[in-house]
Structure 1
């Protein structure tokens, strides 16, 4: 399932934002080869296909309330609320919100649409049902930033992939709070005045499936009650709930009542309850009978994330009649505001609509919360220009820390969600061990994940594949699918089942149905193991141990016994990154922003649960996922807000990152893969005294967006994403040498000395010594020069500033490329030459391969307004590059272009170009096969009903081609990190035809396109 800067930087001049309307250029179809052991970047996804009828979130360019600083004409400055938030009750804010609402109505009216939800605080936009034509027209309307489908996202719960076991040697596991160093006389809680003060004055917003309000972990007093003279949460005359906060501000929320939620369910602990379902239920979708339309949680996920972050101290936890001691949230004294955004429909469909998520963020920022927990994902991040991510930018701009789950699609590379630098993206790792031991009849012992607390005596064991029921295959039985086991052969035995196909707990249910008394669950391929609540005593083993047990089970007279805890005598290393935890590098900016940021406990986390979702009606459950990791960081941020209420969200993130400790691998050796665990495993014992922090604010993020391809207008200059000031460094396209700039602010006076290392690079830091007083900000530069790092793969290392009593460590990830070259060069003539200048990532000689030239094949056509005409094309074997050029005969027309792959009877969009211009272009590398090129007339010229066009197709061959095409000199002499110039020449072309070629450099996959004619 799915996270001390005394003077945060003030935002500078702002301008209205305008994002690029379309993605064009080269779209790669395959990833470069990575260096051994390094994460390989996946290919950037193709641009989205054409619009279709449906619900959309339309984002407008005017600043929302949370970002209004008075820099734009007619815009008030609204960022002066105590605590750094925004005060939406001010007259100026109310007037500005009305202006935004009216503008949204006007924009919708231009296409005949009606807003269904309107957002003004964290996002300036609205949701609406739009036809394909309306959506496309809005996408090209001045002042519209984005038109995004209102899709369903989902809680990041690891329902089938599980986690690596954690360690503690043990028969009695410690609590997560113990493992994190929160408890005890030297723990973080003690430094904050004890558990009863840890998080006091802080309001945490949980965007999730709601809350079970009667849960003992969120028990509170009646509103308005508390120690004599102490300000506490209370209900105002108009029904709002207000909470005085540690930062001097005030939370003002709502307690929405109805089925499943009474006014008394809001207390001094649960200070807000809101439900957002308009987007989910649009189009007549009915909620499930078990799903009340209020903030009550019948799923369990929301109660788990909320109680992980802010659950009360010392609450006894029982699962299926077995006591697991006491549980406590990370920030037990913090208040909780519930924003229910995820739902289950009557037809079983479930999720969280984008529009509802934006509405909830809008409300949370208006309510003035301190921290947002977001354990929800939408798949691998491809862009930060997303309604939810942009809403989080506004939240962070208002001083709100956002903790987001990294996703559960690991261990594959480039599967990570939430690439935005203004959120803290959290990976999942093991922490508290829940283990059991399988003892074979021959005396061998193997440890795995287990909740079994009672021993199972020596019992006959059988492999599932050998006890298949009549009519079931051995493969079905091996996976212990429903109805696959023969009761006559299973009764009274332990069964060895493979993990695959169905949920883990359904396999133990099948063993129980067939009369089995225990299960050994085996990973068929190396993965992570999970302690689930099974129907029969179960131990989950990883591949090696599982294969040994399964082989033994085939022996005549084989027996096993289960022993609680780890009795092997070998300690299981911890913390390890969970197998399911999504990895970087991200698609966004070719990996120039390093994600995830940190790792936190996400494996077998025991916390509150909804009894409505528990088969045994339990109030607690162990759950795994990055959903569980994010609320740990949420709770730590709440503790930070108690200790340092003036610190910015990015200063807090920096402190968490630079004080993190090493993760470990299965052998217990340090595991510093930043694409898996970010800066490392959170270390609360060190986080409050980071020494130096890397900070950034709204202006920095807007400059980053512009450097990422957004057009923000006058007054906001771009920065390279690698230069965004954050506590990590990443460069995804380093050609020979590169210098990045960072600045740090000191939290204490001292002297710091820099050391930095990345295998295959010379690294220099200038200055390498910082002498600082508390509050000083110092800038430094880090220069990376490649020596022998493998090209086109990633190399990782770190930069550490060491002081007298602390160290400040940042992860580094660098991807050296063969060459940094122009995307395209143009020329003309049947014969000729053209100079090309590149920056080399290698020294000595650079191999440059000339592919082509290919003559363009042009056809003409006509497409009615609002319609699409498709042309079938073949991409032959040996094609190095394909291009599709669309030119409108009438320059006042607006055409769009889409490339589809024809796969059997299906047509799958693989790339599109859909700007407001008359002409469009797609350049791509695709597999050989049959494709269709779709030409859509978004708008014909005035007075016309159709648009005429010319479509030119180029299929550049890797070898051969028209005329002669060559490079001189060949190879090209180059120096590392220096510019080099060479010539490309051509002869024998038909001057009446356009031609296209490509220059490929060594092993690099991104070519320079050569256009002649």
Structure 2
């Protein structure tokens, strides 16, 4: 056994264990580096015509991962001098962005020939073109999630949100009393810009920055703001889910839906706008150059948790390397798995907690006829409607509107004389769902039935009139019944909230069996999650967020709660606690659900954690790690028969822990030693061995360590060989 102390990297003053004493060797190194910087100073020589923006990562870490006992400013100066030398070698122009904290690199405009030449420089480890990635939002698939209202959690912690900005005037994001201790390590600034004066930031919103050079200011939608102001709504929702203030009343279309709180309501927020809107919504997204710059800046600013609700490829690209640097600085990094079931989960790196989407609770309602017939669908409204006549939208077209327009309830297509006081059955498609109910409301209708015309999800959106959304089969049945009973009256009756089923949403991106580690790491509710939205001129200040974005925001909030409660834990200890205490989702495959659904309360008392020694991630990435990476999951493939892991006691007592291996149907799995006794802070290494059999190669299960005080620390195991 060995004793391992969990220490978070300091936010200032250099590196852990650094003393104030400067020896002559340090002074000599300082003089040498400053001399090199002077020689390399000045803009790079003029470059030939450029083609593309490239992201260039140099060999070795940024200041966050530097292992030399030198001041951070000195190391950064040395990195900049090296960058200038690399740029000069290919006659490159001045870079668009420089990075020295989370990684050592830059974004620069190069010709294809320059990019090829710079890629052969032995000082360069990666060159890739700038690309635009989508936010990990998804069309709403359920309704408001419920649960115990949190009023505390996250005090003293800053969550960095790399997204589409934020709308600072939302009450859920305002400076209120009860935020607890202020963060004393955060050094970020509040940038100005369109609609964003320097006074916008406050005790809740402690920092705001924006980065557009990668996306291009000339590619923006005309209504986009060159400032941290949210143009899309996504960033505001993510921020409110993670750290929205408690006790804010939620009202939508005159209905009171209860009170709101984010997962870590006392946490502060720092927003880094790197995602933008374009004239064509299909071109919206986040340029990788802007993302990397936001990650590098947030790391330098001293955020505790970094939320990246952005999809992307599963490789170890520049974005992932920047997130490695953030982890090396002690930041808990949390990323979205993505919403494409046909693609591998994004953020395949072991230093990122990758989050998939679990089903959320659904709010339902019934369409009820006088003869007792009943059609159940999704409904967010809490007040009933009717009995009232039901009309088919196609039959009540306004003068000048076509039946096709009326059938899908496009704005202005309905005849108010025939709609007033009635419930309108509208077909799904062509325009947005809530635009249909707005059209019904403008024609004085009292309710809407929204019917699918193809297989698809049911969404309990916030509609302008009470609405029940039914599937295609019920829609077809109801449509036939109304045609044969044109004077019949029906009611729309709220049923209430139905508990979430123990399953992963079908659109949530799964892990890769051939990947390096198990992904996603965990899941959280990713459908119908309530969040604040920017003002739109209507009375709706809230909306329902769905997608792995919403799930990621919830896990970022949970991480903030843990950091606040356990400031002595490392970032990887926090990530371990979130995973090892997650609740299993029945028999769902591990590569769909990871360790399971995050349970914040259980994560506060994990008993044991899987910590990662400083430098191990980088050594693993470079192929230099001796031994196994200490991840809170196991993926065995090829000829691997065994692997080792190290557990550390984070309780305040000396305890006995016993192990078990369960859930495997095709392999014999053994854990040795079977039991250990550990004092506070002590660690032990164990081995998981898989017996070779003639059965099918794919299998998964769990290795669990139970503590004498009832703690249960469980990790998923996937076997593929």
Distance in 2 of aligned mates of 1:520 and 1:357: 42
1:21-61: CA deviations, max 9, x gaps?
xxxxxxxxxxxxxxxxxxxxxxxxxxxxxxx9311111111
Q: Which ranges of structure 2 fall in alignment gaps of 5 or more residues?
A: 10-14, 17-49
Do the aligned residues in 2 keep the contact of 1:754 with 1:800 (CA within 8 Å)? yes
Do the aligned residues in 1 keep the contact of 2:63 with 2:72 (CA within 8 Å)? yes
Distance in 2 of aligned mates of 1:553 and 1:784: 62
Query: Does 2:74 align with 1:95?
Result: yes
1:576-608: CA deviations, max 9, x gaps?
43343222236xxx1341111111222222222
2:561 maps to 639
Aligned with 2:509 (options 561, 575, 582)? 582
Of the structure 1 ranges 344-353 and 749-758, higher mean CA displacement relative to structure 2 is found in: 344-353
Shift of 1:465: 7.9
Query: Does 2:6 align with 1:7?
Result: yes
Do the aligned residues in 1 keep the contact of 2:8 with 2:571 (CA within 8 Å)? no
Query: Does 2:89 align with 1:110?
Result: yes
Q: CA RMSD in A?
A: 3.5
1:435-454: CA deviations, max 9, x gaps?
32222444243443222222
Distance in 1 of aligned mates of 2:475 and 2:248: 36
Aligned with 1:326 (options 259, 276, 279)? 259
2:533 maps to 609
Distance in 2 of aligned mates of 1:389 and 1:725: 19
Query: Does 2:604 align with 1:675?
Result: no
Distance in 1 of aligned mates of 2:82 and 2:422: 70
Distance in 1 of aligned mates of 2:453 and 2:178: 56
Do the aligned residues in 2 keep the contact of 1:755 with 1:801 (CA within 8 Å)? no
Do the aligned residues in 1 keep the contact of 2:415 with 2:443 (CA within 8 Å)? yes
2:665 maps to 759
Distance in 1 of aligned mates of 2:534 and 2:693: 56
Do the aligned residues in 1 keep the contact of 2:252 with 2:539 (CA within 8 Å)? no
Q: Counterparts of 1:817-836 in structure 2 under 5 Å? A: none
Aligned with 1:520 (options 446, 449, 453)? 449
Shift of 1:559: 5.0
Does the residue aligned with 1:434 lie in a helix, a strand or coil?
strand
Query: Does 2:247 align with 1:314?
Result: yes
Query: Does 2:574 align with 1:652?
Result: yes
Distance in 2 of aligned mates of 1:130 and 1:515: 59
Aligned with 1:799 (options 686, 703, 706)? 703
1:28 maps to none
1:63 maps to 61
Note closer, same or farther for the CA distance 1:131–1:446 as it changes in structure 2 (3 Å cut): same
2:459 maps to 530
Do the aligned residues in 2 keep the contact of 1:575 with 1:681 (CA within 8 Å)? no
1:208 maps to 163
Q: Indicate the structure with greater helix content.
A: 2
Shift of 1:332: 1.5
Does the residue aligned with 1:416 lie in a helix, a strand or coil?
coil
Note closer, same or farther for the CA distance 1:320–1:365 as it changes in structure 2 (3 Å cut): same
Q: Counterparts of 1:92-491 in structure 2 under 5 Å? A: 92-114=71-93, 115-158=95-138, 160=139, 162-164=140-142, 175-176=146-147, 178=148, 183=150, 195=151, 198-220=153-175, 232=182, 243-244=183-184, 250-281=185-216, 285=218, 287-345=220-278, 349-378=283-312, 381-384=313-316, 386-409=317-340, 412-461=341-390
TM-score after normalising by structure 2 = 0.84
1:814 maps to 719
Q: Which ranges of structure 1 fall in alignment gaps of 5 or more residues?
A: 13-51, 71-76, 79-91, 166-172, 184-194, 233-242, 245-249, 664-669, 708-715, 817-1013
Note closer, same or farther for the CA distance 1:441–1:102 as it changes in structure 2 (3 Å cut): farther
Does the residue aligned with 2:186 lie in a helix, a strand or coil?
strand
Does the residue aligned with 2:215 lie in a helix, a strand or coil?
coil
TM-score after normalising by structure 1 = 0.61
Note closer, same or farther for the CA distance 1:785–1:484 as it changes in structure 2 (3 Å cut): farther
Distance in 2 of aligned mates of 1:636 and 1:127: 33
Do the aligned residues in 2 keep the contact of 1:756 with 1:799 (CA within 8 Å)? yes
Shift of 1:477: 7.7
Aligned with 1:54 (options 49, 52, 55)? 52
2:524 maps to 600
Distance in 2 of aligned mates of 1:542 and 1:698: 53
Does the residue aligned with 1:100 lie in a helix, a strand or coil?
helix
Distance in 1 of aligned mates of 2:413 and 2:567: 58
Number of matched pairs: 674
Shift of 1:456: 1.5
2:632 maps to 727
Note closer, same or farther for the CA distance 1:438–1:362 as it changes in structure 2 (3 Å cut): same
